[in-house]
Amino acid sequence: MVKTLQNKGLTVFVLLYAIFNIGCKQEVKQELIEEEEIPTGYYTEKYRSQYHFTPEEKWMNDPNGLVYKDSLYHLFYQYYPDSTVWGPMHWGHAVSKDMMVWKHKPIALFPDENGFIFSGSAVVDHNNTSGFGTKDNPAMVAIFTYHDMEGEQAGKNDFQTQGIAYSLDNGESWTKYEKNPVIGNTGIKDFRDPKVFWNDKAEVWTMLLVAGDHLQIWNSPNLKEWEKVSEFGKETGAHGGVWECPDLFPLKIEGTDEVKWVLLISINPGAPNGGSGTQYFIGDFDGTTFTTDQVDHKWIDLGRDNYAGVTYNDAPNNERVFIGWMSNWDYARETPTEKWRSAMTVPRALTLRKVGNELSLFNYPLENFEKHVALAYPESRIKILPTRKRIIPLKYSNQSKTKFTLSVPNAQMYFRNKNGDSLSIDIDRDKKLVTLDRRKSGNVDFSDKFSPGVQQMKIPNLPDGPIEIVLLLDHSSLELFINGGQYVMTNQIFPNEFFRAITIINNSEEELVIEDFTEHKVERVWD
């Protein structure tokens, strides 16, 4: 039962609960939980993320133009300033010194006579190959897809072309190239999402373009004149939908000097759990051609809400930093927010590691994230006998990081609130499977595609022994990281009120002992 008390404007309630299982002795424990008042004001609307990037208002989708220059991380993004549903695309803009606290900037790129401004990338032209700037003041150059809506509506297949623009004041203002588009279209319906980087192997700029069901690779000496040099993927990878948002970069295999190249390709539909998802390939790049002997389909995230993610150009210390759009085209236009729509994932560091005989791409929150992890709420030593469970109160609820080590093969955990909403995660190392169920997580009826069933993630290559579990819970999302980011699931949730407890069930035949269960408060990043 719950007894409500009033104390200095804060609501404090006593949670009395039982830990039991059929045939097991009933145990009773009383906990005091502080229920925080929901603040009012800036960035406090219902479901508003408190430590994930969201636009102040209106529609947002893919991250674009991720680039670092003059001590600032730039985040451009697909933006429609007139509605909370998709419309004529612009490039929104925000900057940050640590990729957690963001400052909103004016819209960077607007539609023009060539079309809407679809997804793309940005580079710093340090050697002034384009002639747009100088070596002392190199231009920031944006490369993007023009989408001619009138051409599409007229039934043409050449309505997507590639354009460029440049800035000489670190992204504050932009000039579009007078000879746009720089790459035309010979009749490919889906021909978009240019990712550009400086190619040290060939000493040219390299552009990745998706062309329907495969990738094209183009090279240029100056960002203006481009030549197609190779293709990849017609017979490789998942092809359940259109390919989108490519990225290609080198990574050292951790603990060695060996370098492999990683190619990201987003696909919609066709993800393992339905709708949108991002696959990756590990292989080699010789300056013109990407090759791989990979047979299995690999996915950067097996949740339903991490799409169109790409990485930063020119990040400090050559760190490979990834941000994804935290949504899914199955229901993105229908999520139950009012002033704004959509958020980004937390920024993640990508690393390449060998586990057993297999190379895997790990993704895990940046170290900068920890600077915003504040108060810790450690639980005393937790012991759970076989077939029993433990209910642990959550002090910081939907603005928290929960971390612990799981030592038994099989366990289930679920978040609950007093409204009856629940979010369940089942980790079964015997079956090598994680199951996530958000069908009763709160407001799920806005789309019949949001939770048509449970989500599954295969975990075939986990090492033996205890594994780390990290759960990042924000007002409308949960990001699950297993074994330092070897396996990841990102999901939107819309609970009717904050979750107030997590229940851990020991489904193994041995005792579960958790020495390091800690719930941390994650600081709000919006002033």
Number of compact structural domains in the chain: 2
Band the pLDDT of 527: cuts 50, 70, 90: confident
Amino acid occupying residue 114: N
Length of the chain: 527
Q: Are residues 329 and 454 in the same domain?
A: no
SS (H, E, C) 325-386: ECCCCCCHHHCCCCCEECCECCCEEEEEEEECCEEEEEEEECHHHHCCEEEEEECCCEEECC
- For residues 462 and 341, state if they share a domain: no
Tens digit of each residue's pLDDT (9 = 90 or more) over 158-175: 999 999 999 999 999 999
- 247 and 393 housed in the same domain: no
Handedness of CA 31, 34, 38, 44 (dihedral sign): negative
For 13-17, 275-279, 386-390, 418-422, which range has the lowest pLDDT when averaged over its residues? Answer: 13-17
Q: Is 13 within a domain?
A: no
- Whether residue 190 sits in one domain with residue 105: yes
Shared-domain flag, residues 248 and 397: no
CATH number at residue 99: 2.115.10.20
Report the CATH number that the domain containing residue 485 is assigned in CATH. Answer: 2.60.120.560
Same domain, 382 and 336: no
| pLDDT over 70 at 11, yes or no | no
From the list 62, 305, 330, 474, the catalytic residue is: 62
Domain edge (last residue) among 333, 348, 367: 367
> How does residue 377 score in pLDDT terms, banded at 50, 70 and 90?
confident
Q: Kindly write down the DSSP assignment for every residue of 436-460, as one continuous string.
A: EE-TTSS--TT-TTTSSS-EEEE-T
* Mean pLDDT in residue range 390-398: 95
**Least confident segment among 36-50, 105-119, 363-377, 405-419:** 36-50
pLDDT at position 372 is 96
In a domain, 418, yes or no: yes
Q: Is the pLDDT of residue 10 over 80?
A: no
Model pTM? 0.92
At 39 the pLDDT is 58
Looking at residue 204, its pLDDT comes to 98
The whole-number pLDDT of residue 70 equals: 96
- Contact between 143 and 123 (Cβ < 8 Å): yes
Do 413 and 482 sit in the same domain of this protein? yes
Q: How many CA atoms lie within 13 A of 90 on its CB side?
A: 16
Residue 45 in domain: no
- What are the start-end ranges of the E strands in 181-306? 191-199, 204-211, 214-220, 227-232, 242-252, 259-268, 277-285, 290-291, 298-299
Least confident stretch, 39-53, 69-83, 96-110: 39-53
3-state percent helix, strand, coil for the chain, nearest multiple of 5: 5, 50, 45
Q: Does the residue 130 lie in any domain?
A: yes
> Could you tell me the residue range of the domain that residue 400 belongs to?
374-522
pLDDT reported for residue 2? 32
Q: Is the pLDDT of residue 30 over 50?
A: no
DSSP 428: E
Place of tokens 């992890």: 373
Would residue 48 count as lying in a domain?
no
Phi, psi of 36 (to 5 degrees): -75, 145
One domain for residues 282 and 241 = yes
Does residue 62 have an active-site annotation? yes
Of 367, 395, 422, which closes a domain?
A: 367
Q: pLDDT tens digits for 290-334?
A: 999 999 999 999 999 999 999 999 999 999 999 999 999 999 999
**Residue 275 domain flag:** yes
Sign of torsion, CA 473 436 457 265? negative
* 50 within some domain: no
pLDDT band at 38 (very low <50, low <70, confident <90, very high): low
pLDDT in tens, 182-211: 999 999 999 999 999 999 999 999 999 999
Are 164 and 213 contained in the same domain? yes
pLDDT band with cut points at 50, 70 and 90 for residue 28? very low
The answer on 272 and 201 residing in a single domain is yes
Whether residues 286 and 346 share a domain: the answer is: yes
- Rounded to an integer, the average pLDDT of 222-242 is 97
Residue 115 lies in a domain: yes
The pLDDT of residue 380 is 85
Q: Could you report the per-residue pLDDT of 108-165, keeping only the tens digit for each?
A: 999 999 999 999 999 999 999 999 999 999 999 999 999 999 999 999 999 999 999 9
Given 330, 346, 367, the domain boundary residue is 367
Q: Look up residue 310 and give its two tokens.
A: 């790409």
**Domain shared by 347 and 409, yes or no:** no
Averaged confidence pLDDT in the chain = 92
- Residue pLDDT, tens place only, 470-521: 999 999 999 999 999 999 999 999 999 999 999 999 999 999 999 999 999 9
Strand 204-211 and strand 214-220: pairing? Answer: antiparallel
